[in-house]
Structure formats: structure tokens, C-alpha cells
Structure 1
Amino acid sequence: MSVEVSRSKLLASLPHGFLGRQGGVSEGEMWGLNVGFGSGDHPKLIAENRRRAIEAVLPGAALATVHQVHSPTAVRVEHAWPQDERPHADAMVTDRPGLLLGVLAADCAPVLLADLDAGVIGAAHAGWRGAVAGVTDATIQAMEQLGARRDRIAAAVGPCIAQASYEVDESFRSNFVGQAEGNGRFFVTGPSGKPHFDLAGYVVHRLASAGIHQPTALNLDTYSEPDRFYSYRRSTHLGEPSYGRQISVIGLP
């Protein structure tokens, strides 16, 4: 089975992809293309899965990842760090060819960005905490420091937990609505009477509010498609001891 790569038309001229779980070598509950060393999966399997991910998008590239902590921190990448030297951050930017920027997720929203004219790219991991704190804003600002212009940046939001699958409690909704006027539009009442949150819609809103022209979302639900994607929430509901992580990558040839 080959690696499944979902792509955005906005970024079609660059090597990029939102990868799922198809085409990997992990087994058991984390079967497939699990790339998360923190999952408890065997490191050799994860290393092979990462190799396959690279080959599916930009063969021969070096893969740069960070230690993700649900922060608004974006860092500039000049080379891929060893696993134990990765900075604590949730977004990366670069203008260096031959590098793949990779963010891991298992319900959170991966965001890939590019200014083709400037030759600057970015990748962000946006869970609700990072999204509220401004991880996409920080990514855009870091890209501008490398010569990008936000009116030229294209941005795509990849597979994440969809609103239909994302039930939250009333305190979450109340706190979120209190963050900014208009935030109530990202909630609907679900079948059980509890609020459901639109993570992808909120991230797209933050990108548009920052001056990105027509950001888009792939509208793929990690929770409801177990044959295609890993999902932290689904694994929790099933009582599984751990969960896999998929990767989203973008590079400059």
C-alpha cells in the first residue's frame, strides 16, 4: 500500500503534502505511517515511516521537526535538528532548499504556508491552545522576517478533527467566546445538547484576519476516518493505550 498524500491546489507548485496513516510499517493499534516518537511505537518503525514520508514528497530532503508543546512559538530553520536537540516550538519557517518542514498531529490542525515569489515556506501545528495564542500569526511574522509578504502567502489547513466530531463542554465554549467578539460562530449545538467546536474554521479565520488571501481547509476529519488518519480523541474513546501521529510537510526543491 502506497503512502497517501493529500495536497492543496494553493500550494501545488511546491513539494508538500498532508499525510495520513496509509503506506507505513507500524503495526497493532498504531498500524500504518506513524511518525511520532512520543507514541511508544518502536523507533525503527517510526524512522522507516519518516523515510517513506520524505520519499513521498521530496526525495532526498532532510526532515526538520520541532518538539511541539501547543505554543505560539515559530522558529527559523536552517538545518534539520537531531531528535534530542529539537527546539520547543509549534511552527517553523525557512528559505533553504532541500529541507522539509514537518508538523505532527492527531486531531490538531496542521497548516502549510508559502510565499512562492519570496521562496519562503512555513508549517504550523495548531491545536486550539496554539490557535488561540496566535501560532499562525507568529508563523506569518517569521516568514516576513525572511522576505515574505503576507498578501502573497498561500495557506492551507490539513486534516484535523471536524466540528461534527469535536464535542466540548460549556466552559470551553464560554471561555472561547470571551476571547474575542464573534467567536460564538465557531460553535454549534450537537446531538447531545453540548457545544461542538469548529477548529479548522477558526484557524482559517485567524489566517484571514492576519491578511492571508483566501486561506483554505481540506475539510478532512481525522476522528471519523480511522482507515486514513490517527486521532487522539478516537483512541481515547476506544480506550487504546496510545495513538499514532501523522505528518504534514512542505519543502523548497
Structure 2
Amino acid sequence: MSSVNVWNADLYDNKLSFVANFGKGIVELLQPQKGERILDLGCGTGDLSYEISKSGAFVIGMDSSEAMIIKARDKYPQIPFIIDNGETFRTNEKYDAVFSNAALHWMKNAENVVESIGMALCSGGRLVAEFGGKGNVQTVIQGITEVLNQDYGINVENRNPWYFPSIGEFSTLLEQHGFKVSYAHHFSRPTPLPDGEKGLNHWLNGFADDFFPEFSEEERVVIYEKIKNKIQYNLFKNGIWVADYERIRIVASKETNGSVL
């Protein structure tokens, strides 16, 4: 299924800005160079596209959300931003690198995404990405699942919008499509959510629309409280919600005729 998440660009910037802040470490891993052409896949509101552009690289930001792209264009008018889908995009441009932070796990047809990235890269071009790995927000998902199933009779199996692979799964997929993986790291990153007790509400409003399509804002508030009661023992620490993030960072280069150029 395709995600139905409604992206609120202002909420993303004001209450969920940790996404871009953590992503600055991926920019360091990218090591962009002056004159390189770099595609920021799943660019959100453009903060990391801007960080990359400081190197003198030519950056294009891409996101499937019109709201995010409108916000990015407003914030950084000097950078080109386009609306397109990571699973299906095709480009006549060839890029030295494709960069992606906190976006690939929203693209459930991972094979199509990897194929699109491979076609966008020049020979020897690199993919540098961070995304949710196996076990990411597992406790949150469990809380959502139990509340919707037990209290509302809803099976959420087909509502989960995310793809959280293991390193082995994603590395194998890359290798099958002509990439050489040079770096792969799966790590835990407990992530404090801003705004105290309201932190999980902001997270659910920002990222979890797919689980609650039939519920009004008022009904969601009630559901959120039930979810919080289920998971607070594990994730509510000293007045702050701490999301159970598991992340994968990966660097891979496009091979040509069995060798890396």
C-alpha cells in the first residue's frame, strides 16, 4: 500500500526538527565536494539539502509531499526542489551521489527505490543514507496495535506504512542491483521527543496517519492517551517521551561491469 500520511510541514519543522538535526551526521558521512551533483531523496523541508549545498555541491531536493516541497522552496529559494516518488522517479540527470535521511523506510517497494537510485547515479556514484532499521519504534507500533485491536477491533497489519529491514536484507538488495556496500551500521538511538508529555502526540500526528484514517482529531486524542498508557513504562522517562529508534546507516557505490569505477 502507499502511505496516506498527511505531512504537516510546520509541525515537522517546529516539533519534529530532531529528524534533520540527527541527519547532519549523515551529511558528514556523505562528504560532499564542490561541483558534485547530489540528489537529496526524501528531502522534507530542505534543511539537509541546504547543509549539503554549503560544500559548493549542486543539490536537488526531491520529496513526494507537496506540502514539504512548498515549505522547502520558501525556506531555500536558491535550491531546486521537485515533487516526485522515490519508488518510481526517473531522471535524465546523472548524479555523483544520492543522499537520503529518514526517508527510505517510507518507501515499502524497496526494490523499485534501489533501481531508481541506480539509474540516477553515474558510474561509481554513491548512495549515502540513514533510515529506520529492524525493530525501529517497535514499542510504539506494539502500543498502537494493541489499542486498535483490543479497543476498536481493527487489524493494523496492512496499515503499517514502514519498511524496516535488517542490514543483511538491505545490503543484499543493493548488491543484487549492482552496488558494492562499503559501510553498514545498525544501531540503537533512543530519541527524546520535544515538548514533554505532548511529545508522543506530536510524533503520532506527524508520522502515524496511516493507522488512524477513520478517526477525527478528537477521537485520536483519546486513542493517543490509551497508547501512552500502554507504553509509558518503557518509553516515558523523567517527563520526556523517548522513542525507541533503531537506525541503519549505509554507504554503497554503483558498480559497472563487476567493478567499482
TM-score (norm 1): 0.39
Give the structure with the higher percent helix: 2
Higher strand share: 2
With normalisation by structure 2, the TM-score equals 0.38
